Each structure stands twice: as C-alpha cells, then as structure tokens.
Amino acid sequence: MPSRNITFDPDAGVPKGANLTIHTGADFSANFNVVDTSSSAFNFESWTGSSQMTKSVSIGSSSYPTATFNVGFTSAAGGKIKISLGSTDTRSLSEGRYVYNLLVSSGSTVYNLVNGNILVIPGISSAP
C-alpha cells in the first residue's frame, strides 16, 4: 500500500483526512509520512500513537471501537508511522463504511493527526 503524506501542524488543531480500504481476511497496513510546515520530517522521538476504527460516531453516545490498530513509528526521527491489522482481525470485520483516527501524543498532550473513512470489502474466498 502506498504511503500517505501528511503535513502536521500541532498548533492548527485540525487533523488531515485520509480514506483507507480494508479487505477482510487479508493483512492490512497504512503508512504515513509526516512532515512539519516547513516540509521537514516531523520528529516523533519520545511520542506515542494509537488508532481505532468504529462503525459510526454520534455525539452524546458511547460507541466502542470495532478494531484497535497496531501503531508503530517505523522511523520516529523520519516522521514515519504505520498502522496495521492482521488477517485474523480483518476477517471478523463486517462489510461497510467505518471511521477511524490516528492519535499521537507527547507527554499529556494528545493530537488528532489523521481522520478518515475506511471501506471494508468482504473477501470472495479465503485460504483454508
């Protein structure tokens, strides 16, 4: 899957949008190359990340995540982040449209880096 380029401005407070597709029963990953407003790689050393997807978001109700992604900084100093789910996790997803976000945090400050839709497409057949 190609990498998505994201410009991150912590002062803006606005996440970037990136839509994704997951095929059930297959391994899934999405890579993000993050740069700052001067187009230099954003340094994520000492940062943490988390990402979840859910079927819908509604104000005032508690919706539980459908899936929690594995988040890794493949190059923290180089601004490279990867989210992933294994085939066992994607196999249990129902087809349809979901929403997700990717959060990053430094100390107690949490930033919403990326938001978007995920289209889950069911597999036609699967390996035994």
Span 44-101, pLDDT tens digits: 999 999 999 998 766 555 567 889 999 999 999 999 999 999 999 999 999 999 999 9
pLDDT of residue 65: 82
Phi then psi dihedrals of residue 91, to 5 deg: -60, -30
Q: Cβ contacts of residue 107 below 8 Å, gap of 6+?
A: none
pLDDT of residue 125: 61
Q: All domains of the chain, ordered by start, with CATH?
A: 4-121 (2.60.40.10)
Task: Round to whole Å and give the CA distance between 62 and 75.
Answer: 34
What is the tens place of the pLDDT at every residue in 24-41? Answer: 999 999 999 999 999 999
